[in-house]
Structure 1
Amino acid sequence: MAHFEDFIGKLNGERKAEFVASRKKRGVRERAFHQHTPMGDFVIVTLEGDDPAGAFAKFGAGDDPFTKWFSAEVASIHGLDLSAPPPGPLPRLVIDSGA
């Protein structure tokens, strides 16, 4: 948990400009929520933009220093390799109060 909090602290602090620039470059807004549940903690990430799936694919293919750092942190904390997203469909939007 400490590693996760440190990562989030850097994204909200010293690396925020890089984080924002990275997402703008890919045409998305990224938001993450930390959810405590009886089954354990979850991180819920949303990507909003014209092509969130395309942006997600580009995260893993990025070779700039920020993307490499971000991908390594995600792999270390969550065990997710952004260069090889898990198989299967992306999450399906089932309700949107703004539509």
Structure 2
Amino acid sequence: MAVNAMALPILPGKIEAWQQYNSQVNGPRRSEFEDMMQRHGYTRWLVWHQKTPQSDLMIVFQEGPVSGRESIGKSDHPFDMWLKEQVKDFTGLDLSQPPPGPAPDLVMQYPG
């Protein structure tokens, strides 16, 4: 198992779209989200909203297989396609493509 964290800026004017997405995955689409987590091997997925003077950020913590993001990116499952469309709409990040830069570096942990 691997852990990953990322901070994604929410595009200007897209905070409402992001909030609607969260309402969906925490509400009527929760079982589909949980199914996706199981299909891709995730054991934990946490998301925070961080407000900064520059922008709103979506902070994501994931625990699961290293291949999890790639697996979601390549998936043509209807829920996965919907999720990728939503994320691209409010962050601009296309999860079906490789990340635009290197993975984050872990610089501190406890316990170590």
> TM (normalized to structure 2)?
0.79
Structure-2 residue corresponding to 1:88: 101
Structure with the largest fraction of helix:
1
Structure-1 residue corresponding to 2:86: 73
* Matches for 1:28-39 after TM superposition, within 5 Å: 28=42, 29-39=44-54
Residue 98 of structure 1 deviates from its aligned partner by: 4.4
Deviation string 1:24-73 (CA, Å, 9 cap, x unpaired) is 22111211111001121111111112x2x310111111101100100111
> TM (normalized to structure 1)?
0.88
Root-mean-square deviation (Å)? 1.4
Residue 17 of structure 1 deviates from its aligned partner by: 0.8
Unaligned runs of 5+ in 1: none
Structure-2 residue corresponding to 1:2: 16
Residue identity matched to 2:107:
V
Deviation string 1:6-36 (CA, Å, 9 cap, x unpaired) is 0000010001111111112211121111100
Which consecutive aligned stretches of 4+ in structure 1 deviate over 3 angstroms post-superposition?
Answer: none
CA distance in 2, matches of 1:65, 1:37: 34
Corresponding residue SS for 2:50 = strand
